[in-house]
A = this chain, B = another copy of it.
């Protein structure tokens, strides 16, 4: 149930730092001895090799991994890794970096669940920082876990959940869990800012914002993979 990170350059190492904050187990892959040594010295589990080869992906435990991040500087390599990863483990979540924007759709066609194009995503963030500074600072501090007490969390509601079958109005999310309900994701559809007359159902994924210590009480099956469609 670990996350594989292919490519230990700037994007890959930034991804690893963030994965650590999220408490994920990580296996890195890079073909550059220098990067591999650096990460080993810092205590990471890393494999020296070409991530586009099935043997290397297998050595990284691709068959048991929950996700793979393909962050090589070459789009052709990221496309091949995406296809190989889905062949070796059809349930794996593939997150890929696109260097050139025209390859976003190709990476998705190859099977990637989520693709981010480096320059484009950065540009949108620059714009938001220009016009909505407080919101961008706040959301990023929360998303990047720079705030010690609060977090955004997605929680799969199962039958054991104290929220299953409850109306939003009666959920006591604010009172008992110090949290706010931002959205319900049901069968791939997002109900943003749900009305208090909405019912929370088993199988729903809820997105909540609130106190870390209280939110943990809600995760009745924290290891469960969320049954989601990506954008």
Specify which of A22, A101, A136, A178 lies most central, judged by the most chain B CB atoms within 10 Å of its CB.
A136
Q: Shortest beta-carbon distance, A135 to chain B, in Å?
A: 5
Are A135 and B118 within 8 A (Cβ)? no
Contact of A226 among B13, B134, B185 (CB under 8 A): B134
Across-interface contacts of A190 in B (CB, < 8 A): 137-138, 141
Q: Which of the 9-residue segments A43-51, A143-151, A159-167 touches chain B?
A: A143-151
Across-interface contacts of A22 in B (CB, < 8 A): 127-128, 131-132
**Bound complex: CA A119 to CA B14 (Å):** 8
**Bound complex: CA A113 to CA B126 (Å):** 11
Across-interface contacts of A39 in B (CB, < 8 A): none
**Bound complex: CA A206 to CA B129 (Å):** 16
**Bound complex: CA A68 to CA B139 (Å):** 21
How many identical chains are in the complex? 2
Q: Is there a chain B Cβ closer than 8 Å to A231's Cβ?
A: yes
Q: Is there a chain B Cβ closer than 8 Å to A187's Cβ?
A: no
Are B230 and A137 within 8 A (Cβ)? yes
B-facing residues in A18-61 (Cβ within 8 Å): 18-19, 22, 24
Contact of A95 among B15, B129, B180 (CB under 8 A): B129
Are B123 and A10 within 8 A (Cβ)? yes
**Bound complex: CA A190 to CA B117 (Å):** 31
Contact of A134 among B15, B124, B209, B228 (CB under 8 A): B228
Contact A124/B14 with A67-B131, A129-B116, A138-B207 known, Cβ cut-off 8 Å: yes
Q: Shortest beta-carbon distance, A44 to chain B, in Å?
A: 14
Q: Shortest beta-carbon distance, A33 to chain B, in Å?
A: 21
Are A180 and B183 within 8 A (Cβ)? no
Which residues of A are in contact with B by a Cβ distance under 8 Å? 3, 9-19, 22, 24, 66-69, 71, 93, 95, 97, 101, 113-114, 116-144, 147, 149-150, 152-154, 174, 178-180, 182-183, 185, 190, 192-193, 196, 205, 207, 209-211, 226, 228, 230-231
A-B contacts besides A114-B133, A149-B192, 11 pairs, CB < 8 Å: A10-B101, A10-B119, A15-B123, A15-B126, A16-B127, A19-B127, A19-B130, A93-B133, A135-B154, A138-B183, A139-B139
